[in-house]
């Protein structure tokens, strides 16, 4: 017991000493030295001309767009060789989702070419709460800039606002809807318009003869994936057709049975959308086991994998939606570097990298780049 008290006292003393060494009060954080983002005029042209959900086209920007001229006071000096330290926080890692390897390759390539020190943070499995705390950790590390995925705008709002308040410029990549729709004043969202991806995918399947659709979602609750499904369902609704969402799990054997059961219970469903290799893999297993031939059902998917490319070539998959993950990672680093070194900021709330459709006509070209740059 005595020993315990002694060691406890030692710890307290050490803590006090450490505290004494630290600056008494943190230097008052200077007001963000970053010029306000030059928000685009209200009508941000969406990359594609399909009617978006319900947002009236005349949303007034919450803040009057600042003049593009840099503020006179405390204009940051332009230094093209400034040493930069960036942190990227994302809801998934290359370690457990191969899609992210391409994103991270983009990040690493940009970092190398522009001579920037970049740290990538992410949870060790899909966990939004954990990702939110990682954003706070990134802020605590006081980097020059943060890139992050806005996987859940509500949950991530406070952590992102804390980073912005601390004077750290923030860009979003891969998951998000832009600063206006997310209600978080980060600079820009670099990535695919998820809703449009689902919507246009749905229209393509209807054009190919699809009458009733199902969106197979492997991570129900992931805002981006949910938006894809919503776009898909809305596309069917716009033609007075029906579509639903089917949730599957991480166990491919179980997912295959679930897809099979759903198809049995709903024999009129003829258009299947999967949201990536994790869903396409059990879908193909079911297709083979059920003895269906290419063209019996319409299948479209997000993302590409060796298996998906093979099925696009043999005609059993109509398209793979490519969101250009390499460009997302590369552009996120580049945008921050341009802002911090040359004082140039992104123009639009959404900097689109997709949806790009890979089908029979262009699959050979993309195949050579799959897993590396596409």
Partner 1 sequence: MVNARLTWQREIRHLFAESSVAGPLFTLIFVFILSSLFVPHFFSWRTVSGIVNAATLTGIVTIGVTLLMISGEFDLSVGSLIAVGGYLFGQQCAHNSPLLGLALAFLIPGFLGALNGLIRVRTGIPSFIATLGTGFIFRGAAWILSGGSMLQLTDKLPIYDIFNGRFNLLDDLLPGANFLTSLLWLLGTVLVFQYVLVRTRYGNHVFAVGGQVEAATAQGVNVERVKVINFAISGALAGFAGVFTFCQFQTMRVASGSGTELTAIASAVVGGALLAGGSGSIWGALIGVLLISMLRTAVVLLNIPFIPADNFEAIVGVTIVGAAIFNNWVRQRT
CA distances, 139 to each of 82, 268, 300 (Å): 20, 51, 39
**Does 305 participate in binding partner 1 (rule CB under 8 A)?**
yes
- Residue 253: other Cβ atoms inside 10 A: 10
Nearest to 250 by CA among 286, 230, 220: 220
Residue 165 CB, nearest approach to partner 1 (Å): 33
Q: Which is nearer to partner 1, 269 or 340 (CB)?
A: 269
Which DSSP string corresponds to 222-250?
A: -HHHHHHHHHHHHHHHHTT-EEEEEE--S
Write the interaction track for partner 1 spanning residues 200-239; mark x where CB under 8 A is met and - where it is not.
--------------x--x--x-------------------
Segment contacting partner 1 (CB under 8 A): 108-116, 264-272, 313-321, 360-368? Answer: 264-272
**Does 121 participate in binding partner 1 (rule CB under 8 A)?**
no
Segment contacting partner 1 (CB under 8 A): 16-24, 96-104, 145-153, 167-175? Answer: 96-104
**Does 119 participate in binding partner 1 (rule CB under 8 A)?**
no
**Does 353 participate in binding partner 1 (rule CB under 8 A)?**
no
Tell me if the bond preceding 355 is cis, omega within 30° of 0: yes
Query: Can you tell me which of 33, 38, 98, 161 binds partner 1, judged by CB under 8 A?
Result: 98
Query: Can you tell me which of 274, 278, 335, 351 binds partner 1, judged by CB under 8 A?
Result: 278
Query: Can you tell me which of 34, 86, 110, 245 binds partner 1, judged by CB under 8 A?
Result: 245
Q: Which is nearer to partner 1, 70 or 285 (CB)?
A: 285
| # chain residues binding partner 1, by CB under 8 A | 43
Residue 131 CB, nearest approach to partner 1 (Å): 15
- What DSSP character marks residue 342? I
C-beta separation of 354 from 192 below 8 A:
yes
Distance CA 146, CA 124 (A): 20
Distance CA 280, CA 282 (A): 6
Distance CA 140, CA 168 (A): 11
Q: Are strands 212-217 and 242-247 parallel, antiparallel or unpaired?
A: parallel
Residue 121 CB, nearest approach to partner 1 (Å): 15
Instruction: Look up residue 281 and give its two tokens.
Output: 């893999």
**Does 370 participate in binding partner 1 (rule CB under 8 A)?**
no
Segment contacting partner 1 (CB under 8 A): 94-102, 131-139, 193-201, 347-355? Answer: 94-102
Instruction: Look up residue 288 and give its two tokens.
Output: 């083979």
Crossing angle (nearest 10°) for helices 252-265 and 277-289: 60
Query: Can you tell me which of 119, 266, 343, 362 binds partner 1, judged by CB under 8 A?
Result: 266
Distance CA 350, CA 191 (A): 7
Near partner 1 in 308-347, by CB under 8 A? 310
Q: List beta partners, residue 145.
A: 86
Q: Which residues bind partner 1 (CB under 8 A)?
A: 93-98, 101, 124-125, 214, 217, 220, 244-247, 249-254, 256-258, 260-262, 264-266, 277-278, 281-282, 285, 289-290, 305-307, 310, 371
């Amino acid at each position: 017991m005595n020993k315990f008290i002694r060691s406890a006292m030692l710890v307290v003393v050490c803590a006090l000493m450490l505290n004494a060494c630290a600056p008494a009060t943190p230097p008052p954080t200077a007001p963000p030295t970053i010029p306000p983002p030059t928000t685009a005029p209200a009508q941000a042209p969406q990359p594609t001309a399909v009617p978006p959900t319900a947002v009236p086209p005349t949303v007034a920007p919450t803040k009057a767009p600042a003049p593009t001229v840099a503020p006179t006071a405390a204009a940051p000096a332009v230094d093209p060789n400034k040493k930069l330290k960036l942190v990227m926080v994302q809801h998934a890692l290359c370690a457990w989702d191969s899609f992210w390897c391409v994103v991270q390759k983009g990040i690493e390539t940009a970092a190398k070419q522009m001579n920037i020190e970049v740290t990538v943070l992410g949870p060790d499995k899909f966990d939004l709460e954990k990702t939110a705390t990682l954003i706070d950790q990134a802020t605590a590390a006081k980097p020059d800039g943060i890139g992050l995925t806005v996987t859940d705008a509500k949950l991530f709002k406070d952590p992102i606002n804390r980073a912005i308040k601390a004077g750290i410029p923030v860009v979003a990549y891969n998951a998000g809807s832009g600063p206006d729709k997310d209600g978080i004043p980060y600079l820009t969202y670099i990535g695919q318009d998820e809703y449009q991806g689902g919507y246009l995918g749905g229209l393509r399947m209807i054009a190919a003869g699809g009458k009733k659709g199902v969106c197979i979602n492997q991570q129900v609750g992931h805002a981006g994936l949910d938006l894809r499904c919503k776009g898909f369902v809305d596309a069917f609704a716009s033609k007075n057709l029906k579509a639903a969402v089917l949730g599957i799990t991480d166990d491919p054997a179980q997912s295959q049975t679930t897809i099979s059961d759903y198809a049995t219970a709903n024999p009129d469903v003829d258009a299947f959308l999967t949201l990536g290799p994790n869903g396409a893999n059990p879908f193909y297993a079911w297709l083979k086991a059920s003895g269906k031939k290419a063209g019996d059902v319409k299948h479209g998917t997000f993302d590409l994998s060796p298996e998906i490319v093979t099925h696009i070539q043999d005609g059993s998959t109509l398209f793979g939606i490519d969101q250009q993950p390499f460009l997302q990672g590369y552009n996120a680093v580049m945008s921050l570097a341009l802002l911090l070194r040359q004082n140039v900021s992104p123009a639009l709330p959404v900097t689109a990298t997709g949806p790009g459709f890979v089908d029979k006509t262009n699959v050979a070209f993309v195949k050579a780049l799959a897993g590396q740059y596409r």
